[in-house]
Chains A and B, each alone.
Chain A
Amino acid sequence: MAQQPVFAPWDDPTQTPLITFQNVTKRFGDFVAIDDLTQHIYEREFFALLGPSGCGKTTMMRMLGGFETPSEGKISISGRDMNKVPPNKRAVNMMFQSYALFPHLSIYENIAFGLRRTDMDKDAIDARVAEMLKLTRLEKFARRKPHQISGGQRQRVALARSLAKAPKLLLLDEPLGALDKKLRQDTQFELMDIQEKTGTTFVIVTHDQEEAMTVASRVAVMDEGRIIQVATPDAIYEAPNSTYVADFIGDVNIIEGKATRKGDKTHIAWAEGQPDIIGSTTRDFSEGQTCHFAIRPEKVAISPDKPDAPNALHGKILDIAYLGNISTYHVELPTGHIIKAQTANTRRLARRSLTWEDDVWVSFTDTAGVLLDR
């Protein structure tokens, strides 16, 4: 079987990045929005900036759009220093969170707005707008005004308008925030589809981790003006570099303890009278160093009898959350720690024998969790 070429320009030292942030700092008065940030983004990437509000992700995007200039450092796009280039002179377009559609113009004129600012002739503009309307399936609405169409349609107009000038880089500021969940999921796939078709580099800002994981080729998790980790969605999820990232992305159990190396395994002493947790890591921990053991709930099994597993802990069921496709059990250990364990409800009519106050065992393998030093 031939190997599919993997899209990973960030691992290829011969690739030159499209966007470079070089020691960029942005201050608003005393407030540091972006703190000495250095980052590369490559062509054709779908790059997601993820973080809580106020983490600097929007500032980073607005600097790419030219709406803010860095206080220090340099941003370059295709090798060109962008610090003094105004928004209207950049091959960058932005899809605004509020969509920012011009209310006095029809859908057609909204999409044609950017093209009319170039020296493109009328027929070429017509053809390009028609192409955009087709891409976003808006042909029927071309003559309407923005207030005469639905939220989902408006969102597609905003996308069509920002793509019309075929920018090198498209910025998406919380593009799907105003849509309901079902429509949002459909639109996510549509976005990925359009990104692939047009070959444009996308940078998306979002606070929705599921959205970032779905659409992005790489996710940057941000906090207080810094990027904490940049990696592919699966690496961010399975190999977070800190408890902040582990906790921000998805659900996680974190247990603090002291690490001791024993052969190729690491033993974590985490509570008096409890067996050590056995884990494996490539990181170096000195003898007795404080570490955090992070494990995702779906990697924790739950059973009424003691299973044969490297790690098995005894506890009592405190809470059960039935979510349809999965159930999450909150198990309280004698030490007071609460471990979340998830099981998939693969059978419709299975007898769920576990109930509140039951004595159970939670177990996991010695490679299921990660060891973090911070």
Chain B
Amino acid sequence: MRRAALIAVPYFWLLALFLVPFLIVMKISLSDGALAIPPYTPQLDIAEGWNGLKTFLSELDFENFVFLTTDDLYWKAYLSSFKIALISTSLALLIGYPIAYSMARAAPEWRPTLLMLIILPFWTSFLIRVYAWMGILANEGLLNQFLLWTGIISEPLTILNTNTAVYIGIVYTYLPFMILPIYSALEKMDDSLLEAAEDLGCSRTSAFWLVTIPLSKTGIIAGCFLVFIPTLGEFVIPSLLGGSQTLMIGKVLWEEFFNNRDWPVASAVAIILLLILIIPIILFQRNEQKQREMEG
């Protein structure tokens, strides 16, 4: 009885905050657009009882999903989001791993401070930090002023409103999510393992590839998913830092909802995005479970 009650709490949480909203979005995606408030039809009228439910169900169909396949904007946006997420994740890994590694190698008394510095940006609003990047990356921004002053360039670089700015914004924002799981994997590693590898004939470099990397693998995988999953649906960064040519599904979703007010198509886009994300989320969960087994 107590166990059932204990399990009921997270399940209720999941039901109220995930399943119910999901079903509402699902229902909207199967509806038709209408000039009304809310802007779709049919609406379920409970007063009409059983017959009302039947007519309601008969009016739902998949035509919004069919529509998505007819306009190449959508699959191009999905593909472009996927590409941007993939490149951003790789960049975050390339930058994040050395940072996590040096943090884990730092003297133990320094580690809490370094950890604090990684988490510190979260204390400011994400939106403000992205706006700050607009100030840095603009044509008359701090970066261009600095580069002009040093004489490296003579003409200001156009960075803002390009894909480069989007990559900078995404990598900057999600870097802590890459660093933290890798750091926690590396920090747990026993130094004597590296000594053992050297003792058995490894150079420092090969010990790194044969021992350190495999032992931080779960951290790398976790970090990559934690960056990849939210980046795929990212909306704020591409709309603030990206240009008109930056195509990301999050932006398309926003435009469908608020510019076109076509909630049913927007919901269909959201449902597809969710289905795409389910695969990496399941892989992520499996990685976490494997790690727990290794430690258990």
> Is the pairing of A and B real?
yes
Binding site for B on A (CB under 8 A): 65-67, 86-88, 92-94, 96-98, 100, 102-104, 113-114, 117-118, 147, 161-162, 165
B118 sits at the interface (CB 8 A): no
Given contacts A88-B203, A147-B294, contact A100 B198 (CB under 8 A): no
Q: Is the CB of A93 within 8 A of B192?
A: no
Q: Could you say which residues of chain A place their CB within 8 Å of the CB of B214?
A: 104
Residue of B nearest to A98 (CB): B192
Q: Mark B191-230, 1 if CB is under 8 A from A, else 0.
A: 0110111111111001000110011010000000000000
Q: Is the CB of B195 within 8 A of A87?
A: yes
Q: Is the CB of A117 within 8 A of B198?
A: no
Q: Is the CB of B192 within 8 A of A87?
A: no
Task: Identify which of B192, B195, B199, B294 contacts A103 (C-beta below 8 A).
Answer: B294
Looking at chain B's contact residues, is the secondary structure mostly helix, strand, loop, or mixed?
Answer: helix
Q: Could you say which residues of chain A place their CB within 8 Å of the CB of B195?
A: 65, 67, 87, 94, 96, 100
Q: Mark B226-249, 1 if CB is under 8 A from A, else 0.
A: 000000000000000000000000
Q: Is the CB of A113 within 8 A of B199?
A: no
B109 sits at the interface (CB 8 A): no
Q: Could you say which residues of chain A place their CB within 8 Å of the CB of B201?
A: 88, 114, 117-118, 165
Q: Give CA–CA (A117, B215) in the complex, Å.
A: 19
Q: List 27 A-B contacts (CB under 8 A).
A: A65-B195, A65-B199, A66-B199, A88-B200, A88-B201, A88-B202, A93-B200, A94-B195, A94-B199, A96-B192, A96-B195, A97-B192, A98-B190, A98-B192, A100-B192, A100-B195, A100-B196, A102-B193, A102-B197, A103-B294, A104-B215, A114-B200, A117-B201, A117-B206, A118-B201, A147-B294, A165-B200
Task: Identify which of A92, A97, A102, A118 contacts B211 (C-beta below 8 A).
Answer: A102
16 more CB-based (< 8 A) A-B contacts, given A114-B200, A118-B201, A147-B294: A65-B199, A67-B195, A86-B198, A87-B198, A87-B199, A96-B192, A98-B192, A100-B192, A102-B193, A102-B211, A103-B215, A103-B294, A113-B200, A117-B202, A117-B206, A165-B201
Q: Give CA–CA (A165, B198) in the complex, Å.
A: 13
Q: Give CA–CA (A100, B202) in the complex, Å.
A: 15
Nearest CB of chain A from residue B19's CB, rounded to whole Å:
37
Q: Could you say which residues of chain B place their CB within 8 Å of the CB of A103?
A: 215, 294
Nearest CB of chain A from residue B64's CB, rounded to whole Å:
47
Nearest CB of chain A from residue B222's CB, rounded to whole Å:
16
Q: Give CA–CA (A162, B217) in the complex, Å.
A: 26
Task: Identify which of B193, B199, B211, B217 contacts A93 (C-beta below 8 A).
Answer: B199
Per the 8 Å Cβ criterion, residues 120-152 of B in contact with A are: none
Total number of B residues with any Cβ neighbor in A under 8 Å:
19
Residue of A nearest to B194 (CB): A100
Q: Give CA–CA (A86, B200) in the complex, Å.
A: 11
Q: Could you say which residues of chain A place their CB within 8 Å of the CB of B202?
A: 88, 117
Q: Could you say which residues of chain A place their CB within 8 Å of the CB of B198?
A: 86-88
Q: Could you say which residues of chain B place their CB within 8 Å of the CB of A88?
A: 198-203
Nearest CB of chain B from residue A16's CB, rounded to whole Å:
25
Q: Could you say which residues of chain A place their CB within 8 Å of the CB of B192?
A: 96-98, 100
Q: Give CA–CA (A82, B284) in the complex, Å.
A: 48
Q: Give CA–CA (A118, B202) in the complex, Å.
A: 10
Interchain residue pairs A-B with the least CB separation, the first 6? A117-B201, A114-B200, A100-B196, A100-B192, A87-B198, A104-B214
Nearest CB of chain A from residue B37's CB, rounded to whole Å:
58
Scoring B196, B197, B215 by chain A CB atoms within 10 A of each residue's CB, the highest score goes to B196
Nearest CB of chain A from residue B202's CB, rounded to whole Å:
6
Q: Give CA–CA (A65, B198) in the complex, Å.
A: 10
Q: Could you say which residues of chain A place their CB within 8 Å of the CB of B197?
A: 102, 113
Q: Could you say which residues of chain A place their CB within 8 Å of the CB of B210?
A: 113
Q: Give CA–CA (A103, B211) in the complex, Å.
A: 9
Nearest CB of chain B from residue A64's CB, rounded to whole Å:
11
Residue of B nearest to A104 (CB): B214
Nearest CB of chain A from residue B124's CB, rounded to whole Å:
39
Q: Give CA–CA (A87, B198) in the complex, Å.
A: 6
Q: Is the CB of B200 within 8 A of A161?
A: yes
Nearest CB of chain B from residue A49's CB, rounded to whole Å:
18
Residue of B nearest to A111 (CB): B200
Nearest CB of chain A from residue B101's CB, rounded to whole Å:
17
Q: Could you say which residues of chain A place their CB within 8 Å of the CB of B217?
A: 104
Q: Give CA–CA (A340, B199) in the complex, Å.
A: 47
Q: Could you say which residues of chain A place their CB within 8 Å of the CB of B294?
A: 103, 147
Q: Is the CB of B196 within 8 A of A117?
A: no
